[in-house]
Structure 1
């Protein structure tokens, strides 16, 4: 089987899956990068991988070769770019495609009423509802968005991003979890300082915890348009001793900091399509406190089992759950251990690639017989490529509560 992955550019969140697919398929696997990596991403510590990976093809340098690969490969995985011209010839030929996507209505599902937008969604997605085209949902809200435009009925599966997993034996895992002891509690937040990532919330939480008399220290990694505002907040609230701003660090340095951190804070709203830092913080044995609106949260976190989920934007809910973690080192350790196991056992690149190759084989087999199988017939019970539930954003927090038996 020849399999080609097409996306805007490859990054450290996608390379592990691609490496595993290359391990499985060898020269029959290719990743086509459609555009150079943005300068902002390079400043954040991302790498330009062109020339380093044996399976990487650059569309902007080998257009005809890449076009042939997209059209002639047995299976194509397509996503991460809004430019439909790359995949249109293959779709027009009726060939199988696995599309992956984050949310299409990150700013609100009210946008689904736009006639122009609906026409575009029909052209790109809905008209293939009976074709051998499946949707890999990179986030818990994706299925609901596409359900609104009646696309991919019975053909939506869970997917995501899979940064490198650090494999740990029992001794290594126990050593990692030793950080959850008594004394000053370490908290961490990492990301671009953008309004929808809400870097102000960790600062407000630090103010809240300081007033309550807790012994803690918050490290914030990253930078961006809200950086000056965050600095001002820290100064005005007298939090210079409690909060440290580290600026941008290399991905490896971020992981090292996570491995020393007890509580990881993830505060983004619905515009966070996935959020691969969640995978990394869980793999690092952190007790995670995350907003329910983040795309990865419904797939990776189970409240009260491998972390805590707060209602997006609610400082009160966030503060109460942060207090719960600060008061209970044993619970921090339990959540951190369970979070690490979630990544080691299920949400990792090796398992995702194995399942993806198997799914591609099933879709191709059905296509050869002239049929299109339902996703539920091929889905796994849990984890990557399990069935993606259709849950409206406004109902997700309650759904997560009910799933955890929280009764809140």
Structure 2
């Protein structure tokens, strides 16, 4: 199962400055010079030209935006999902979807859902949104985990987090519990 040691990394969204995709591309460029990796970016936006220039000469593939119903299919063919946004991101629902597809989530401490959903090193990885070197080290760590097959534990834990804690059913139960508690007050 671990014959292909190419780490496939995915980012999906609007290419805006506060999404900090440039940090992801820089970290990826450094790591991909040492290890077999591919980065797929889906989206458009004001930062697109900058990202195209940063990507030159590296295995970075820029794609047009895709309909939401196709995002999950793309997620299934990649290993890692990166939520690279700074504090300008609200929740970042794509992270939930990626974890539900068994991807390894990597997110910033600053983005809404990342620090809430990711337990660093257990079900994903966290980094500071401006820190290229920190993200570079995480990508290399995940590559090594994939090479040895140990990435499956992180994937399993990410999926378990979604299914046991963050599923729509569990969220509805929690909301009802909160509403009942509020009514009693």
Give the TM-score normalised by the residue count of structure 2. Answer: 0.92
Matched, 1:350 2:169: yes
Deviation at 1:285, TM superposition (A): 0.7
Q: 2 CA distance for matches of 1:344 and 1:198? A: 29
- Residue of structure 2 in register with 1:132 after alignment: none
Structure 1 CA distance for aligned equivalents of residues 80 and 3 of structure 2: 12
Cα distance between partner residues in 1 of 2:137 and 2:38: 17
Q: Which runs of 5+ in 2 are unaligned?
A: none
TM-aligned CA distance change 1:181 to 1:334, over 3 Å: farther
Q: CA deviation at 1:365?
A: 2.7
Q: Which of the residues 276, 286, 303 maps onto 2:120?
A: 303
Determine the C-alpha separation between the residues in 1 that align with 2:129 and 2:175: 32
| Residue number among 176, 191, 198 corresponding to 2:13 in the alignment | 191
Tell me how far 1:342 sits from its aligned partner.
0.4
Counterpart CA distance in 1 for 2:82 and 2:41 is 10
Q: Which has the larger radius of gyration?
A: 1
Structure 1 counterpart of 2:46, from 213, 225, 249: 225
Residues 317-356 of structure 1 mapped to structure 2, 5 A cutoff: 317-329=134-146, 330-356=149-175
2:150 is paired with a residue whose SS is helix
Q: CA separation in 1, counterparts of 2:46 and 2:40?
A: 18
Match of 1:273 in 2: 90
Match runs of 1:169-184 below 5 Å: 182-184=4-6
1:253 maps to 2:70: yes
Write the distance in 1 (CA, Å) between the matches of 2:155 and 2:12: 18
The alignment's TM-score, normalised by the length of structure 1, stands at 0.43
Unaligned runs of 5+ in 1: 1-177, 367-408
Distance 2:68 2:23 in 1: 23
Specify whether residues 198 and 264 from structure 1 end up closer, same or farther in structure 2 by C-alpha distance, changes over 3 A only: same
Larger displacement relative to structure 2 (323-332 or 274-283): 323-332
For 1:56-90, what per-residue CA distance to the aligned partner results, in whole angstroms no more than 9, with x for missing partners? Answer: xxxxxxxxxxxxxxxxxxxxxxxxxxxxxxxxxxx
| Bigger helix share | 2
